[in-house]
Amino acid sequence: MLMVTGAAGFIGGAFARMEADMGRRLCLVDKLTYAGNLQSIEKPLRLATTVFAHCDIGDQAQILQLLRTHGCTGIVNFAAESHVDRSIDCPDPFVDTNVSGTVRLLGAALSYYRELEPNTQNAFRFLHVSTDEVYGSLGASGAFSETSQYAPNSPYAASKAASDHFVRAYHHTYGLPVLITNCSNNYGPYQFPEKLIPLMILNAAAGKPLPVYGDGKQIRDWLHVTDHCRAIRLVLDRGRIGEVYNIGGGTELTNLEVVHLICQQVAECSNARAADYLRLIQHVTDRPGHDRRYAIDSQKIRMELGWTPDQTFSSGICETVRWYLENNAWVDAVRSGAYRRLGLASFAVS
């Protein structure tokens, strides 16, 4: 049985659904903060091969008990506070979960690992899912590789960089068999509407302003979440212990280009004119410390493990727009209760 932390979040949920479809036994763990939504993993939760625990990764005793009870063969750690704007508003939860929580999770994993028989130890893996933001910002050329220097610029990125370092330290100091992946910007179904792509889709469909930070020319490398999850499985199965693997979609676009493509797709789905949505674009005050460009060099995972993305951005954004427009019940549930669109709204979008 594989433990998946942060399993009710966007990427963790996609991974859980993929693994469940493959018939794998799962112990799904989530603290169920504002971004944790059990509706996103309804199918895995209905299966006899899946167990769910409402648990904080910082609860070392409970994590250790879960590992022992279910005889887990590994951990994939998606659990994280992940929204940059929220980290700017208040860094504390990012330190609590991304740094302290990861350290306690590592502690539980190490205690459990030391209890295992040698053959079981040989199969055990701790895979930590991280971000390209730990590397900082790029200029007009080049791409982040696994050997790029860490230079995080936001509280979120700093917290993820710290967690990466602790994972690496637990391998080199204690011998825990770890793997680290650093991915580019993910998109796809079930992503919470505070992130750029779902926010723009839903605002456009509702005729609301489309707030774009600064000049909108910040460049991101976009990766469909299902391609990311396939890469994680490959690293888990065949990656070399102690290694880092960068995962990128190979599609660099400015934020403004992404918004324009979304407007075109929403127009096609709604039998409307793209111009009706493009006029909703509003340039707003830029995010403090906004990194200008990210790009991932994925040569290592492509050469060593044979991974390539299946989705082009064109096919992926078409699927994603249609999903949000056709899943009003999920969207309405996310918008109710504890969920609030903090992010962009907190920086005075009028």
Residues taking part in catalysis: 132-133, 156
Burial 80-110 (b: 16+ CB within 10 A, else e): bbbbbbbbbeebebbbebbbbbbbbbbbbbb
User: Which residues lie closer than 8 Å to 44 by C-beta, 6 or more apart?
Assistant: 16, 17, 19, 20, 26, 28, 50
277, 204 in Cβ contact below 8 A?
yes
Yes or no: say if 72 and 112 are a contact pair by the CB < 8 Å rule.
yes
Phi-psi region of 311 (alpha: psi -120 to 50; beta: other; left: phi over 0): beta
Tokens 């906004």, residue? 290
Tell the residue number behind the tokens 């050469």, with chain if given: 303
Residues 6+ apart with CB under 8 A from 205: 266, 270, 324, 325
Residue the block writes with tokens 């459990």: 112
Distance linking the first and last C-alpha atoms of the chain: 49
- How many Cα atoms sit within 13 Å of 196 on the Cβ side? 25
Q: Which contiguous run of DSSP H or E holds residue 266?
A: helix 255-270
Q: Are 249 and 222 in contact (CB under 8 A)?
A: yes
* Contacts for 275 with CB less than 8 Å, ≥ 6 apart: none
Cα 285 to Cα 319: distance, rounded to the nearest angstrom: 30
Residue 15 CB contacts under 8 Å (≥ 6 apart), including other chains: 4, 7, 76, 78, 229, 232, 233
Which of 196, 189, 167, 190 is closest to 76 using CA atoms?
Answer: 167
Q: Name residue 2's beta-bridge partners.
A: 26, 74
